[in-house]
Structure 1
Amino acid sequence: MNAGLLIIRLIVGLLFAGHGAQKLFGWFGGYGVKGTAGWLESIGIKPGVPMVILAGLAELVGGLLFATGLWIEFAAALIIITMLVAIFKVHGSNGLWVTANGYEYNLVLIAIALGVALIGAGDYSLQAVLVK
């Protein structure tokens, strides 16, 4: 079970952190703060720059904490809140399936984050090392 949790945490957490790096730094093909702020404002999320910084930090910090298994409940909360905003502001009106830009992927991430938070980070986590 612990190896499985580690794999889930690493893949989901690092990819989620990557989304934050796209927003904050323009890495991995992202648009950076200015580009993402313009898009956020175009869909009604204002002011764009502070909202990008908040979203980017939530994704970066939440993803890194999730991957390392440190403060897993807080990390999961950051992921869940970010995905709920994505559903309500971007994907929800498109229906469930991702093929129509729906919220399927966001819902999967919410389920994973909630499931790991309820189970715990596992023995292969910083939280386990620091608690011992």
Structure 2
Amino acid sequence: MTATLAANIGLLIIRLVVGLTFVGHGAQKLFGWFGGAGVSNTGEWLESIGIKPGGKIWAIICGLFEFVGGIFFAAGFLTPVGAALIVIIMIDAIISVHGKNGFWLTEGGCEYNIVLIAITVGVALTGPGDYVLSFF
């Protein structure tokens, strides 16, 4: 296997796993799929942690950023846009939930959020590789 082929397959694997995971998280918030809470319950939770007013509106925005960002990232279509949407959500998660708990995930910290930011920014800067959906 050539280095170029291996890099393209590696980027595809990263994009699919990270991107489709975010699609799933967005679907949990927007549609209640995959055991998710849906817009109403996610909105109530957001308000319970101090994101007021408009918890439902923020649930929709978060869900859309995750869902659309994940689709773009996984497809390798508008990869920097998809990465930016994911990064925005992860920064929000750090600020509103995980940051106060320190770094380590075992303490509810922001470790995983930072890893996801690094992955998405790294792929956005490197490029999505050759195996992408292209509409042009």
Q: Give the TM-score, by structure 1 length.
A: 0.95
- % identical aligned pairs: 62
What's the CA shift for 1:45?
1.1
Does 2:32 align with 1:26? yes
CA distance in 1, matches of 2:43, 2:107: 23
- Find the residue that maps to 2:84 and give its secondary structure: helix
Q: Map of 1:85-124 to 2, 5 A cutoff?
A: 85-124=92-131
> What is residue 54 of structure 1 aligned with on the other side?
61
Q: In structure 2, the residue corresponding to 1:44 is in which secondary structure? A: coil
- Identify unmatched segments of 5+ residues in structure 2: 1-6
1:42 aligned to 2:22? no
What whole-Å deviation, never above 9, does each CA across 1:12-68 have from its counterpart, x for those lacking one?
Answer: 000011000000011111100011000000111121011000000000000011000
Tell me whether 1:125 sits opposite 2:132 in the alignment.
yes
Matched letter for residue 51 of structure 1: W
Unaligned runs of 5+ in 1: none
Computing the radius of gyration from Cα coordinates, the structure with the larger value is 2
**Offset from partner CA, 1:75-127 (integer Å, 9 cap, x none):** 0000000000000000000001111111111001000000000000110012x
TM-score calculated relative to the size of structure 2: 0.92
The structure with the greater share of residues assigned to helix is 1
Q: CA deviation at 1:130?
A: 4.5
Q: May I ask how many residue pairs the two structures share in their alignment?
A: 129
